[in-house]
Amino acid sequence: MRRPDLLIALFRALLVAASLWWLPCVRAPLVRADDLSEFETARGRYDRHDYARAAEAFRKLVGTDPPRIANALLVLESRKYFAASLLFLGAATDARLQFRLLLQQEPEYALDPLAFPTEVVALFDEVKAALRRDLDNKREAELSQQREAAQQAATAEQLRRHNLERLRGLAEEHIVRTENSRWVASVPFGVGQFQNGHRGLGVALAMAEGLAAAASIGTFVSQQALADERASASNRAGLQADQRRLVTANWISFGTFAALAIIGIFDAHLRFVPGKVTTGQRPLPPDLDRWVKDEAKRVTSPPRF
């Protein structure tokens, strides 16, 4: 038996053995006799450097999508020699496609540098490197999408918690609206200022008007007491002078009180505030408070990469 025939027979035996023992483990279809015979015919044309007829034969085996043959190992071998034949025919683009399909089926496949010329091995390595770059870019894009999705989820969770706090604040807030009165604004002693919310001016007017009113009442009482004393006293001239001073002080204090009262009332009406709104807090119902607390505990942690 010639050496090429011996090699073909040995390869056929090994291929059949692999189909019988290895391929069932990966649940791949067995090699059909016709498929193996056609592969050997195409391989023989390749070994005789009849690349045009070899490419045509391999095209019939794996040139369709999906390939006509179903055996995974035979598909890999056919694509390998199909690509080499195409490269020798000057169809580098088609050869590159077959290598790419081979590597997509078996990413870790290695081409024997002793069995193929340098240009075939170089093209195979180039396609393998490009495919790995594509896979790396695809993985990076997927990771980027996952990170973006995680960031969006974290942002949405933060917004949900913020809105939950706002909802709780709105539910607990108690608003009271009061209407102010013009009659109250006409009351002295800074009452109108307190009603309008001008507390500082109200305190000042209340103290000043109070002191002036107290001085007016005090001088009036003293004046009346002095008048009763002068009726029975011998030193009427001196008591009369004291009485005049008290009258003067009484008019001054009363005038001061009246002036401050008028100023305060005028200011209260000039800067009159029709009403005011005050807010307070009220407790939530127990069931709603429990729900809010449970929702607040639901924190979505972004995944780590």
- 91-117 residue pLDDT tens: 999 999 999 999 999 999 999 999 999
Kindly indicate the confidence band of residue 209, based on its pLDDT and cuts at 50, 70 and 90: confident
**Cβ neighbours of residue 128 closer than 8 Å, sequence gap 6 or more:** 99, 103
> Is the pLDDT at 169 greater than 80, yes or no?
no
> Is the pLDDT at 11 greater than 60, yes or no?
no
So what's the pLDDT on residue 23?
A: 40
Tell me how far apart the alpha carbons of residues 161 and 170 are, in angstroms, rounded to a whole number: 14
| Termini Cα distance of the chain | 61
Q: Percent of the chain scored above 90 by pLDDT?
A: 38
Asked whether 275 and 178 are in contact (CB, 8 A), the reply is yes
So what's the pLDDT on residue 235?
A: 58
Q: pTM, whole model, 2 decimals? A: 0.45
> Is the pLDDT at 81 greater than 50, yes or no?
yes
Tell me how far apart the alpha carbons of residues 54 and 87 are, in angstroms, rounded to a whole number: 12
More confident residue, 165 or 110: 110
**Lookup result for tokens 């029709």:** 274
Amino acid at 47: D
Omega into 4 within 30° of 0, i.e. cis? no
So what's the pLDDT on residue 28?
A: 42
So what's the pLDDT on residue 225?
A: 73
Average the pLDDT over each of 17-21, 168-172, 259-263 and give the range with the smallest value: 17-21
More confident residue, 295 or 102: 102
| pLDDT, mean over the chain | 81
Q: CA distances (Å), 243 to each of 23, 223, 237, 247, 292, in order?
A: 133, 6, 10, 6, 76
Asked whether 216 and 254 are in contact (CB, 8 A), the reply is yes
So what's the pLDDT on residue 219?
A: 84
DSSP state of 31: P
